[in-house]
Amino acid sequence: MAGPVIIGSERSEVGLTAGMDILRHRGSALDAVEAALRLCEDNESDHYVGTGGLPNARGEVELDASVMVGSTRAFGGVGALRGFPHPISVARAVLDRLPQHCLLVGEGAELFADECGFDRSELLTAESRRLYADALAAEDEPVEGEGAHATAGDRRYRETTRALMRRFTPHDGPWGTINVIALDESGELCVGVSTSGYPWKYPGRVGDSALPGAGNYCDLRYGGAACTGRGEMAMRVSGARRVVDLLAAGMAPAQACAAMLEDARSLPDPFSAELRALALTPDGRHGGAAGLLGSMYAVMTKDARQPELRPRVVVEVGR
Ligand code: ASP
């Protein structure tokens, strides 16, 4: 058996040490993933997860999160959850306390979180409010290439298209959903994902992070995988499930992630943006792939004092 190990996407480092502490004390992969992601959700300088996450087009923060356990393939997820700072814990409560269901969204997810006694809090920070206000101001820019012959309808059409493109374009700086995958001492695997989703998304939009097979999949026979980035593409190719199927077919983790990204890249997508994936096998092998050079993932093993960064295999962003 490979010793316990925990891996995560960019910016998961703030939580991995706490996750590894749990694994070192023979805690479960599920507890380790939840503890690691809660710390990421508390990191206000991270604008893609939890408190400080960027809001939807109406200025409201809506969070998606999920957990999946490898031996049972039990899944718990929440989508478009408002007002609760730790969506990963609500997702876990769905898994633990609502075995007749896998996924709750919106008002129902909030009702359930209240029933479970989770604390509510304001998720918009001064900085995320400022970033939202700046993005709205940018909507007034003139439409490039608009000629004298354009009708008011042409102009409106182009403005709407450009505004939408801007909304779905990743914000500058380190961005994206946080994925954490843990293998515990007993050999159990767990995948967790948490995000505020694409900035300025359509209200009510739920991304890959809440969905089994799309942003999160875990099967103890073959491995666990998770996605970050353009969630609609992860949904269209069943990204995380595809990576696990490729592990089952004998591919190494980084190659399985890269093959899934190649598949996503072959599809038409006018909002084409980077998609990234990570995978960990039950024997402790791990790897990742990304659409941009320089993208890394973090790994922490039992004897490490802190997470180490490893490069991902690069597959160019789609057309
Ligand atoms: N995958 C997330 C989503 O589509 C976004 C991201 O990772 O940036 O909601």
Instruction: Tell me the pLDDT tens digit for each residue of 263-302.
Output: 999 999 887 778 999 999 999 999 999 988 889 999 999 9
Burial 242-257 (b: 16+ CB within 10 A, else e): bbbbbbeeebbbbbbb
> Within the chain, what is the greatest distance between any pair of CA atoms?
70
Is 90 exceeded by the pLDDT of residue 3? no
pTM of the model: 0.91
Looking at 75-79, 167-171, 210-214, which range is the least confident one?
A: 167-171
How many whole angstroms from 121 Cα to the centroid of ligand 1? Answer: 22
How far are the Cα atoms of 62, 85, 131, 175, 308 from residue 298, in angstroms, in the given order? 26, 24, 27, 15, 5
**Is 301 annotated in the active site?**
no
More confident residue, 231 or 131: 231
Looking at this protein, which amino acid is placed at residue 168? F
> If you average pLDDT over residues 99-113, what whole number do you get?
98
- The domain 5-122+171-314 is placed in CATH, from the list 3.60.20.30, 3.40.50.2300, 3.40.920.10, 3.30.360.10, at 3.60.20.30
Look at ligand 1, atom 8, and give the residue with the nearest C-alpha.
176
Which ranges in the chain belong to alpha helices (H)? 13-24, 29-42, 87-97, 106-116, 126-137, 152-168, 231-236, 239-248, 253-265
Neighbours of 269 (CB within 10 A): 16
Return d(Cα 140, Cα 50) in angstroms, integer: 29
Predicted confidence at residue 143, as pLDDT, reads 42
pLDDT in tens, 127-153: 998 888 777 665 444 444 445 555 666
pLDDT at 319 over 60: no
Question: Cα 187 vs. chain centroid, distance in angstroms?
Answer: 24
Record the tokens describing residue 302, joined without a space.
Answer: 């039992």
Around ligand 1, the residues with Cβ closer than 6 Å are 48, 175-177, 195, 197-198, 207-209, 215, 228-229, 231
CA of 228 to the centre of ligand 1 (A): 6
- Cβ burial, residue 84 (10 Å; 0-12/13-18/19+): buried
Residue 207 CA, closest ligand 1 atom number: 9
| 13-24 vs 29-42: helix crossing angle, rounded to 10 | 150
CA distance 104 to 116: 13
- Of 72, 151, 177, 228, which one is the catalytic site residue? 151
Q: 């306390």: which residue's tokens?
A: 97
Q: What is the mean pLDDT of residues 208-228?
A: 98
Which of 175, 206, 209, 274 most suits a substitution to test ligand 1, by most atoms within 8 Å of the C-beta?
Answer: 209
